[in-house]
Amino acid sequence: MVSRRGFVLGALAGAGALVVGWSVMPPRQRLVGSTALPLAAGQSALNGWVKIGTDDRVTVMIAKSEMGQGVTTALAMLLADELDARWDQVSVESSPIDPIYNNVATVVDGLPFHPDDHGPVRSTLEWLTAKSIREFGLMVTGGSSSIKDLWLPMREAGASARAMLANAAALRWQVPLAECQVAEGRVTHASGKAARFGELAAQAASGALPGRVPLKRVDQFRLIGQPTRRIDADAKVAGAARFGIDTVQPGMLHARVSMCPTLGGSVAGFDAAQASAMPGVRKVVAVKGYNGGTAGVAVIADQPYRAMQALAKVAVQWQPGPAAGFSSERFERELAAVLERETGFAYYTQGDATAALAKAARTVSATYSAPYLAHAALEPMNCTVRVENDRATVWASTQVPGLARRAAARALDMDTDQVEVHVALLGGGFGRRLDVDFVGQAAAIAAHVRGTAVQTVWSREQDMTHDFYRPACVSVFRAGLNAQGSLLAWHNTSASQAVIPQLLGRHFGLPIAGPDKTTAEGAFDQPYEWPAARIAHQKVDAPIPIGPWRSVGHSHQAFFKESFLDEVAHAAGQDPVAFRAGLLTRHPRHLAVLRLAAERSGWGQPPPSAPDGAPIARGIALHHSFGAIVAQVAEVSLDPQKRIRVHKVTCVIDCGFVVNPNGVRQQVEGGIVFGLSAALYGGVTIVDGQVRQSNFHDQPVLRIDECPQIDTYLIASDQAPEGVGEPGTAPIAPAVGNALFALTGQRLRALPFKLA
């Protein structure tokens, strides 16, 4: 069996002489794109990230998709602070598609290294990966990487523009550059001379890009680090914000689709006579599955309701695909059986865990499982496309605009430069909009009525039953304790499908070899100081489309790992917080997060009773994901019908330097609600290749009257920012599960939670 380190070293050796010279060159700049920014009247572009108008309006180019995470605000803050612009003069605009906007951080973070590994192999491979992705990567919003990826580029863009404005003023006034001061959207001189940004922008843009410019120290920040109201708040409150589904074009037609109920199936034939005769119907067409999607039938009509009504009248003969006969219940049993005979790919080893287990005075073992999960974003899949003779325009809520453009171009047999993509606000992404099946489908449908925009919208039922699901997973644990209750060994192997090979395969059509970090992340990449450990994963293929789901592997591996750790603490007769602390002696940041969560939650003190007098118990979980450290304490009771109620969640996060405290708290709260919905209700059942859940009546989300009080504490840090969008999701399930054990004595090892 090839080790993780052996695999990485082999990859480096295979690159050989091709990268020797290139690898030592510095990375290319991320300030100026390959094409000029589009400019409105009076605007000047100072680099690829900022335009300034004669009206003093500072327009920040946003290369990340806004899906409720507040990224437009945080990124604009980074640039505006270094530029020394006034916040009230800042607006945002989606960037074009260009290599300078490629997401470097998320790919580098996807390399299968343990966070404590700081060796030369890791640093070399990260360097080569970063350089490669700058040239050949993609614009991606995912992996909780937006701020981490652009922490320096946005600040450098602001500082560079600031220097250009100051230089323009110095030249205009014939004074030394060092005597020019920039603040609050103006450049001033001690002589009394002053000029607004808008007065200097054109002259500044005509000058040369400066070399390396100094960035502000933390104590010089004016915006960065301050609680800031979101830049898109007013538009959303007023209903003026436009999501993909809100796209309106002159004369626009509307399409509704019905896809084969069996995942991956196709259309054998259909009778459209009745539907075609209905008022407003323009076309009834078959459409194949694009980018891993499922084939179906679409009706194009002049009104959405007419398209829906006509679609119900189309008689379709389906051809089931490779998923026919697949059962999620049977697959879970298969995963468990696989773990009885396979040892899996070892992502982390420490000492000899098998030998340590053999010497243990006591062993603890358990099997955990998690189901397939749908994304269920509130805005269902939709895309608007207008196809003309040799051009196409796409309006889409997407996390990957470059791939969306490519999908549309391939569906229309065009070159990518013939397709223009407008990225709208996303009504939820959670990883689902990293796929572009709906874009290719919408483009193919629109091709039937060229010259007119066609908006394709999936019903909630089609959205729920034709997702790229979070994979089902089974995980087996064994731990060994000595006679004094100290941990000797930790042995864990899980089994599931692998997300990244599927994702890259359907986007690029190439087989992807090697380990997929997402299968085992949350299990192997944790800070606990195991005396001996082996943590592995076994990939098991299945004909079910899967994809990234908010926090990806962490979403279930955190539940497995933190729940079993509680089991081991209980077997050792130790307090769960104290037991964890004993495994974190060399990880002070993690230990600080754990202890603060315990302190702020009142851990060790009797919790209050529920409003109806029912007893409450607490459970804790600590997890490291996307560079952030999160601890959560959940307070849980049962109602008279034995339904689970979560009253309060105390959350502590160390995510490095906090750009916008408001945004971080909002993301933590959203992550907790998202994860709690899955823990209490989430689960997709597949029978004969067909998903049984179809809407929120049988796949509920947390209601407002069920939402717990959430107290979030941010640990101050001078480290660079890390992820925020996903780390809050992973620990909530184990925190609740551990509280339920403390409350009832039942150890729930499967999601969603169901008490006996």
Residues 200-229, mean pLDDT to the nearest whole number:
96
The contacts of residue 699 (CB under 8 Å, 6+ apart) are 374, 376, 464, 681, 682, 683, 684, 693
CB 617 within 8 Å of CB 601: no
Q: Which residues contact 449 (CB under 8 A, 6 or more apart)?
A: 253, 282, 283, 300
Q: Rounded to the nearest 5°, which phi and psi values hold at 557?
A: -65, -30
Q: What confidence score (pLDDT) does residue 64 get?
A: 98
Backbone dihedral angles phi then psi of residue 3, each to the nearest 5 degrees? -80, 165
Reported confidence tier of residue 309, pLDDT bands at 50, 70, 90: very high
User: Who's near 33: CB < 8 A, 6+ residues apart?
Assistant: 48, 96, 98, 99, 100, 101
Portion of the chain with pLDDT greater than 90, in percent: 94
Instruction: Quote the distance between the C-alpha of residue 570 and its chain's center.
Output: 34
The pLDDT assigned to 510 comes to 77
pLDDT in tens, 634-679: 999 999 999 999 999 999 999 999 999 999 999 999 999 999 999 9
**Mean pLDDT within 610-617:** 97
Q: Give per-residue pLDDT as tens, 369-398.
A: 999 999 999 999 999 999 999 999 999 999
Tell which residue, 368, 252, 240, 373, has the closest CA to residue 307. 252
What SS3 state is found at 395? Answer: strand
- Give the pLDDT confidence score for residue 511 in this predicted structure: 72
Q: Is 362 left (phi over 0), alpha (psi -120 to 50) or beta?
A: beta
For the cut 90, the answer to whether the pLDDT of residue 214 exceeds it is yes
pLDDT tier at 696, thresholds 50, 70, 90:
very high
| pLDDT score at 7 | 37
Nearest Cα to Cα of residue 638 among 751, 756, 743: 743
Give the residue among 479, 486, 753 at the shortest CA–CA distance from 634.
753
For residue 752, whether the previous peptide bond is cis, meaning omega lies within 30 degrees of 0, is yes
| 277: exposed, middle or buried (Cβ count in 10 Å: 0-12, 13-18, 19+) | exposed
pLDDT tier at 509, thresholds 50, 70, 90: confident
Euclidean distance between CA atoms 653 and 716, whole angstroms: 9
pLDDT tens string 78-110: 999 999 999 999 999 999 999 999 999 999 999
Whole-number pLDDT of residue 28:
77
pLDDT for 11 equals: 39
pTM listed for this prediction:
0.95
| DSSP 8-state class, residue 38 | P
Q: Which of 6-20, 38-52, 437-451, 455-469 has the lowest mean pLDDT?
A: 6-20
- The whole-number pLDDT of residue 23 equals 55
**Strand (E) or helix (H) holding 457:** strand 453-457
Cα separations in angstroms, 242 against 62, 371, 417, 448: 16, 34, 25, 26
Reported as half-sphere exposure (CB side, CA atoms, 13 A), residue 146 has a value of: 27
Query: What is the pLDDT of the chain when averaged over all its residues?
Result: 95
pLDDT in tens, 132-181: 998 889 999 999 999 999 999 999 999 999 999 999 999 999 999 999 99
The one-letter code for the residue type at 720 is A
Residue 494 φ then ψ, to 5°: -120, 165
Contact call for residues 664 and 713 (beta carbons, < 8 A): no
Tell which wins on pLDDT, 159 or 13: 159
What pLDDT, on the 0 to 100 scale, is given for residue 27? 67
**Residue 5 confidence (pLDDT) above 70:** no
Residue 666, classified by CB atoms within 10 Å of its CB into exposed (0-12), middle (13-18) or buried (19+), is middle
The number of CA neighbours under 13 Å toward the Cβ of 225 is 16
Compute the chain's Rg from CA coordinates.
Answer: 27
Q: Looking at residue 514, what is its pLDDT?
A: 79
pLDDT of amino acid 14: 39
At 4 the pLDDT is 42
Backbone phi, psi, residue 253, to 5°:
-100, 170
Mean pLDDT within 589-610: 97
pLDDT average, residue stretch 727-741: 98
